[in-house]
Amino acid sequence: MAKSAILKSSLAKKYWMALTGLFLCLFLAGHLAGNLQLIFSDALHFNQYALFMTSNPAVKLLSYLTYISILFHAVDGFLLTYQNVKARPIGYAKNNPSANSSFSSRNMAVLGSIILIFIVVHMMNFWAKMHFDEKFPLQKTTIEAQKGMKQDFYLTTDGGYIPVADPSYTIKNKTEFFDTAANVKVKEGYKDLHKITVEFFRDAKYGLLFTMLYVLSMIVLAFHLLHGFSSAFQSLGATNPKYTPAIKWFGKGFAIIVPILFAIIPIYIHFVK
């Protein structure tokens, strides 16, 4: 009876691991589409995307679901690894493990742990700063107000401009412009996530190191996805001689292309932008 309960528990964990993993693959695809604007678009469009991702109610709900999925996926992975180790307390001989399993499948726990560390550090450097840093910069632009004279303006979400040095406006709640005299909100600005991201990877002292660590993390992600994508369908029982080969090929393509495109972004910012 106890053995049956453990088996069911293990299967349940594998189902949840597969479901959260596939959901996170969807998140990766969407996140990549937004981040590619750092290469193919300008600062305003990227900051508009960032504002949409942090203010739209439906997107915010999906974001919370993503955070929960990441935690659940990580905890579930650790529990499954622990169960597998506990089920085999005495080591056994491995004459040629690479002949029976791939590098990715044998090291999923290690790969997943590295990715989890990357996610935490990544969120601390960008997500946390954008949400909680009271000094997070607003997007500015320089316009030639008069012949030979340039002036800095804040860009506002209604397509307008507010002079940076204009005392008639006061910034409150990080992005809101208030009429100083009437103390009434009149406009809202964009958090300049584009500037923060570019400065992070182009930092004179650590920019190259940050870029290299990001690329290495994407290599780890690629190995994790190489096994995880196809094994998720297998765990859910979605195997069919007709469709399984296509799923495996799609999984391999996803595991290679998505991390490569993510890695290109900091490389482009550091060396080209």
pLDDT at 96 over 60: no
Mean pLDDT of the chain: 88
**Number of helices and strands (H, E) in the chain?**
11, 6
Are 123 and 245 part of one and the same domain? yes
Secondary structure (DSSP) of 194-213: HHHHHHHHT-TTTHHHHHHH
Start-to-end CA span in the chain (Å): 62
Q: How confident is the model at residue 237, as a pLDDT?
A: 78
Q: How many structural domains comprise the chain?
A: 2
Does 257 have pLDDT greater than 60?
yes
pLDDT in tens, 146-197: 777 889 999 999 999 999 989 999 999 999 999 999 999 999 999 999 999 9
Segment 125-138 mean pLDDT: 94
Pairing of strands 161-163, 169-172: unpaired
Q: Average pLDDT for residues 74-98, to the nearest whole number?
A: 68
Place of tokens 């596939």: 22
Residues 122 and 148 in one domain: no
| Strands 176-179, 169-172: pairing kind | antiparallel
The two three-digit tokens of residue 178, written as one number: 């208030």
DSSP for residue 156 = B
Query: Is residue 103 domain-shared with residue 184, that is, in the same domain?
Result: no
Place of tokens 């949409």: 52
Which among 172, 176, 155, 128 is positioned nearest to 48, based on CA atoms? 155
Domain end marker among 153, 173, 189: 189
Same domain, 84 and 115: yes
Q: Domain boundary at 189, 207, 230, which?
A: 189
Q: Report the C-alpha gap between 37 and 35 in whole angstroms.
A: 5
Question: What is the edge-to-edge ordering of all strands in the sheet holding 176-179?
Answer: 169-172, 176-179, 184-188
Q: Which of 159, 189, 219 is the last residue of a domain?
A: 189
Same domain, 6 and 92: yes
Do residue 183 and residue 199 come from a single domain? no
Q: Same structural domain for residues 207 and 231?
A: yes
21-75 pLDDT tens trace: 999 999 999 999 999 999 999 999 999 999 999 999 999 999 999 999 999 899 8
Residue 16 and residue 29 in one domain:
yes
Exposed, middle or buried, 105 (CB in 10 Å: 0-12/13-18/19+)?
middle
Q: Which of 18, 36, 8 is nearest to 257 (CA)?
A: 36
Residue range(s) defining the domain that contains residue 183: 140-189
264 with 147, same domain?
no
DSSP 138: B
Q: What is the pLDDT of residues 53-66, one digit of tens each?
A: 999 999 999 999 99
Instruction: Give the predicted TM-score (pTM) of the model.
Output: 0.88
CATH of the domain at 71: 1.20.1300
Same domain for 92 and 218? yes
144 and 131 assigned to the same domain? no
Residues 103 and 24 in one domain: yes
